[in-house]
Structure 1
């Protein structure tokens, strides 16, 4: 496989996977690994969609947990092409497909209510029109700020794709937790479990993991906090276990 300028191949943590990345584009982070391990992938999950797949890290992680058909949707052409290369590099083309399009165009590719699970590591930050707050690189701006799509549009898209009792999981910021719950309920996804993730045990939560079920029964479980680093700054045992 021929690499383009700025492309490098890295091992994907300690897993039997490799990933091609570019330093000028949004690269995978611990968030992607955490949400890929958080979503429920039981025996009945045969079709999964990753909204905003970037370079395909989440589908790669999911491939270690499930034999389901996984589809990643990515609006940026360069990122989508990287994702396709990564699928090919890991010999997963028979299980993972990458679509280069705006996720709002999902009707071009899927039947409503056809997916067993939807997952997303979306842009975290609202855009209020202050361009000085944005990253100079347009591609990083789209990955971090709600410019091409909003939180509600992501959840609305997930709900439209999901079958009844299908699973939706996302990683996001704790300061938007109540908004996330409101949007999930508005679009018929019942919040079922949440986990707050802290960089250290004495620090405020940096991210949250939340999962809901379309037309699910009421009852939210708050799981024990996940602490990603020990006091000495090294990854915690729980996070290291995810790497294997």
Structure 2
């Protein structure tokens, strides 16, 4: 199956707000209503150790928050985002142009469920994703229609992990952020083709359980799994974020592996 040319951008794309990211280094247009990227996108982008000239693929790029932050952090990378929602894909293209990154950021309107082969692209050096958190919407209060695509994986998490693992070359890397309670699922699904796992839990406070996990893997990797110390987002000092998290959000530091 060949990916069709992107459809015209919806008029709904005009109903947007502009946010500053990475301490004002980056401008991002996002929907005024519905899903808007935040901490998860910032952590995923900061967790990618892409090298010069690396090619990076994002599954489910939305309005491009992760891609734009990776592009700002790694100026010599080339990036491709896949997004099934034409309005979100249109916003991602606008964001690439707004930040003068459209010469190295490509947005494809396509569905992860159709498989990596439909992109007609060679495998990438890295693939990243913040997959929808839930496979079954009966397990939670139904999300607002505008947020449903970001919360519900209609075809299940396995479709996403299959896309990611087929989307990278042998020895290529994958970085995913997801709910901490789905860590076992992620390891089992990615483990079909990947190894050399590195896991970093993300805790709201030092005395609270992790709610997110960042998982890095290598296609064909055989190194032992490494479980790193948690990233703590907040402390009790009254500051909005703990120092390490604040430095990441401002673009002053990456996420240490």
Q: State the TM-score, normalizing by the size of structure 2.
A: 0.86
Instruction: Indicate whether 1:48 and 2:56 are aligned.
Output: yes
1:111-138 Cα deviation digits (max 9, x unpaired): 45x210000011011215x39722131x
Preserved CA contact (<8 Å) 1:26 1:54: no
Cα RMSD, aligned residues only: 2.0
User: In the alignment, which residue of structure 2 is the partner of 1:107?
Assistant: 117
1:220–1:82 distance in 2 versus 1, CA, 3 Å: same
Detail structure 1 runs of 4+ shifted over 4 Å in the superposition.
2-5
**Which secondary structure does the structure 2 equivalent of 1:49 belong to?**
strand
Take 1:5 and 1:115, find their aligned partners in 2: how far apart are those partners?
Answer: 32
Q: State the TM-score, normalizing by the size of structure 1.
A: 0.91
Preserved CA contact (<8 Å) 1:185 1:191: no
> Which deviates more, 32-41 or 156-165?
32-41
| 2:128 alignment partner, one of 116, 119, 130 | 119
Structure 2 stretches lacking a partner, 5+ long? 1-10, 252-257
Q: How does 1:19-98 map to 2 (within 5 A)?
A: 19-43=28-52, 46-66=54-74, 67-98=76-107
Instruction: Indicate whether 1:185 and 2:191 are aligned.
Output: yes
Aligned residues: 237
User: In the alignment, which residue of structure 2 is the partner of 1:141?
Assistant: 148
Preserved CA contact (<8 Å) 2:22 2:69: no
Structure 1 stretches lacking a partner, 5+ long? none
User: In the alignment, which residue of structure 1 is the partner of 2:7?
Assistant: none
Take 1:204 and 1:194, find their aligned partners in 2: how far apart are those partners?
Answer: 15
User: In the alignment, which residue of structure 1 is the partner of 2:162?
Assistant: 156
Instruction: Indicate whether 1:174 and 2:175 are aligned.
Output: no
